[in-house]
Amino acid sequence: MPLKLEPIQLAFLVCSFFIVDFSDAYLAPIAARLPLKGTPSPPGTPWPEPMSANFSISIATIGNRDSITFTSNLNNCSILNSAFNRYSPDLIFRDLPVESASGYPVFAGIEIILPSGIENQCGEYPRLALEEERDTYEKYELRVEQDSDSTVTAKIQAWTVWGALRGLETFSQLIWQNGTSNNFFINISQIVDSPRYPHRGFMIDTARHYVDIPVIETILEAMSYTKLNVLHWHIVDDQSFPFVSKTFPELSAKGAYLPELTYEPEEVQDIINYARDRGIRVILEFDTPGHTHVYRKSFPQLLTPCYGDGVNPGTPSPDKHAAYEILDPTKEFTYSFMKQLFTEIKNVTKDEFIHLGMDEVYYSCWQSSPEITAFMEQNNYTEYSQVQEHYTLRHLDMVKSLGAKPLIWHDPLEFGVNLDKDIVLQVWKKNGSDWAPYLQHALDEGYQVILSSPWYLNYIAYGETWREYYESDPVLSLPNITEDQEKLILGGEACVWAEYADPTNLVQRVFPYIGAIAERLWSPISTLDKNRTDDAMHRLDQHRCRLLWRGIPAQPIFNGYCFPQEKSIRRSSKK
């Protein structure tokens, strides 16, 4: 029956890599005359692609469900121990029995080797790797080796606990099931891996729609399976203020959608720790001076009254501005309030960075305001960008004085605000589909940057939209980038603005598409050969099936199916 040979199966047959049956992820073409492109990957292929990997055709069998044993020279390390618990038989094998396949060496456990003297990391939080430590911060070497005729062991050498976590994730992805049998295998292999960029993030927005904590945890879990390491938490915005401040409890009391749709300080702490256990930083964003309408509900004096009718403060002007907009930069109260609020935030966050927003400051309200006019005259300002600069610089200095590092959207740079060079800029703008000039501009001005422009996952469309994310490269898209400028790129972030996303659809919308971005930010630049996007499709599909296997409701990227047990996987992130 010639028809039975799907391209994917054909490719497996010609690939003499494995000597047994295959299963993992099955894509199906749209039509016979439109066959799938690209080369399917064998089961047990990791995502994102490691820096370098050698897979032997020799394989070892997993003896039973308890064969995945962990040892380490770093004892009593809570981060490692919780990782060992996470990579449990249930995660790897679900509820399947595991039977040893005869005639193969048996897998006999995994050993984590870390340098001595890093015990203190076990109680710390991950951070942005310093330039001089980037080569080792998340690096690992994973060797699956035959010790004797009968046993195979895995060794992970890492330089930090975070590198060990990345190595464990890769290790877990190497184990594959033989068809629908109860035989699981791992290939003899050597992997040396380290990320291309130290900042690989995902931004969630909990202000447009509230996202409850189990969903945030699901996202963090799935991020760790995809080697993403920053959760950028856009926690408040115009629409709601779910963060419960101890200093100003009125903010959430009046600004949350509902009293129960909030994040208590302990809950924020729990999320930060949940992320830490997975080697993920949590960067909180408190956006000012725009996107602050919600403050009006509890502290109306913080916002600039607009003169929409030309006479009365607090009046809107259709198509131009609301009745009140943008923090009032003329009042000392604004600055003292923010200092108190950010003093609290500095204590809540465990990351050295705080995201200060600074995006979308539009001038039409200020232009209507006689108070702003007077303020400009007083300060000899002739441009509204100087008013923005006034607020921006004071706010940045204040936050720096608290000991935090500011991260902001790149808008002030685009508006001509003079910023210190130690401010990290997140580039989000694009003009049509053209974003490279914005990134180049920030680099030309000498700033360290995080790129998001091509990776707004809230823009949805029919089809294989992940391909465009995958082929957007921060370096290759910039024809005039210099070597020094390349070093200023810290990484990137996928963003989902939540106007149309909430727990009903968020996880599905993000996973596995965000994997395309994760690989762009993790894997060597050489993976970006456009011919390889078709190959990547097969690996990404395998990754989506892996996520599904682990209970993450990752949506399909094309026709096909994953594995027999797919049917019993929960469709939602309900636990």
Partner 1 sequence: MRTGVDFPIFYFIVLLCMGTPGSSHLKKELSLEGYPSTYLPTRGEPWPKPQHVTKYGQLFMVVRPPVFRFETVRNTCDLVEDALKRYYALINRRHSTLQRFRNDKKNDAEKPWKGTPNYVGYLDVLKIDLMTPCEAYPNENMDESYELKIDTPDLVGQGLLVASSNWGILRGLETFSQLLYPTSDYAALQLNSTLLLDYPRFSYRSVLLDTSRHYLSKQVILENLDLMAMNKYNVFHWHIVDDQSFPYQSRVFPELSEKGAYHQYTHIYTQEDIADIIEFARRRGIRVIPEFDTPGHTRSWGYAWPDFLTECFTSRGQPDGTFGPINPLREDAYKKMAQLLEEVINVFPDSYLHLGGDEVDFDCWKSNPEIQNYMQSRNLTDYSILESAFMLEMMNIVKGLSPNTTYVIWQEVFDHGARAINKDAVISVWMGNQTEAGKELDRVTALGHRAILSSCWYLDYISTGRDWPKYYLCDPQNFNGTSAQKRLVIGGGAALWGEYVDSTNVTPRLWPRASATAERLWSSQTVNNTEEASHRLEEHRCRLVQRGFNVQPPNGPSHCLVDWNTRN
Interface with partner 1, residue 9, by CB under 8 A: no
> Among 262-270, 515-523, 530-538, 552-560, which window interacts with partner 1 (CB under 8 A)?
552-560
CA distances from 322 to 208, 252, 372, 411, 494 (A): 18, 22, 16, 21, 30
Nearer to partner 1 among residue 170 and residue 472 (C-beta): 472
Q: Which of residues 114-143 bind partner 1 (CB under 8 A)?
A: none
Nearer to partner 1 among residue 207 and residue 424 (C-beta): 207
Torsion of CA 502, 507, 510, 511, to 10 degrees: -170
Interface with partner 1, residue 432, by CB under 8 A: yes
Q: Which of residues 433-452 bind partner 1 (CB under 8 A)?
A: 435
Q: Residue count at the site for partner 1 (CB under 8 A)?
A: 86
Shortest reach from residue 449's CB to partner 1, in Å = 16
| Cross-strand pairs, 112 | 72, 156
C-alpha R_g of the chain: 26
- DSSP labels, 219-235: HHHHHHHTT--EEEEE-
Q: Which of 101, 322, 451, 545 binds partner 1 (CB under 8 A)?
A: 322
C-alpha–C-alpha distance, residues 213 and 264, integer Å: 11
Interface with partner 1, residue 318, by CB under 8 A: yes
Q: Which residues of 152-186 are buried (b: 16+ CB within 10 A; e: fewer)?
A: bbbbbbbbbbbbbbbbbbbbbbbbbbbeeebbbbb
Amino acid at residue number 58: S
Terminal CA-CA length for the chain: 43
> Among 122-130, 388-396, 517-525, 565-573, which window interacts with partner 1 (CB under 8 A)?
565-573
Interface with partner 1, residue 548, by CB under 8 A: yes
Interface with partner 1, residue 430, by CB under 8 A: yes
Shortest reach from residue 405's CB to partner 1, in Å = 23
Shortest reach from residue 330's CB to partner 1, in Å = 21
Interface with partner 1, residue 553, by CB under 8 A: yes
Nearer to partner 1 among residue 212 and residue 473 (C-beta): 212
| Cross-strand pairs, 187 | 59
One character per residue 276-295, x = contact with partner 1 (rule: CB under 8 A)? ---------------x-x--
Shortest reach from residue 42's CB to partner 1, in Å = 20
Q: Report which of 547, 540, 574 is spatially closest to residue 40, judged by C-alpha positions.
A: 540
Q: Which of 13, 20, 460, 476 binds partner 1 (CB under 8 A)?
A: 460
Q: Report which of 223, 287, 234, 304 is spatially closest to residue 263, judged by C-alpha positions.
A: 234
Q: Any residues with CB less than 8 A from the CB of 483 and at least 6 apart, and which?
A: none
- DSSP labels, 303-362: EEEPBTTSSSTTB-BTTTB-SEEEE-TT-HHHHHHHHHHHHHHHHH--SSEEEEE-----
Nearer to partner 1 among residue 1 and residue 19 (C-beta): 1
Interface with partner 1, residue 335, by CB under 8 A: no
Nearer to partner 1 among residue 121 and residue 573 (C-beta): 573
Q: Which of 31, 116, 380, 530 binds partner 1 (CB under 8 A)?
A: 31
Interface with partner 1, residue 311, by CB under 8 A: no
Amino acid at residue number 41: S
Contact 129, 135 (CB under 8 A): no
Q: Which of 265, 313, 314, 556 binds partner 1 (CB under 8 A)?
A: 556
> Among 71-79, 202-210, 389-397, 417-425, which window interacts with partner 1 (CB under 8 A)?
202-210
Phi–psi pair at 382, nearest 5 degrees: -115, -15
Q: Which of residues 208-267 bind partner 1 (CB under 8 A)?
A: 208-210, 212, 214-215, 218, 238-240, 257-258, 260-261
Catalytic choice (119, 360, 377, 486): 360
Is there a catalytic annotation at residue 389? no
Amino acid at residue number 195: P
Interface with partner 1, residue 312, by CB under 8 A: no
Instruction: Copy the structure tokens of residue 536.
Output: 């990547």
One character per residue 484-523, x = contact with partner 1 (rule: CB under 8 A)? -------------xxxxxxxxx--xx--------------
- Alpha-helical runs (H) found in 380-435: 384-401, 411-414
Interface with partner 1, residue 533, by CB under 8 A: no
Place of tokens 């602050």: 292
Q: Any residues with CB less than 8 A from the CB of 399 and at least 6 apart, and which?
A: 342, 346, 354, 356, 406
Active site residues: 360
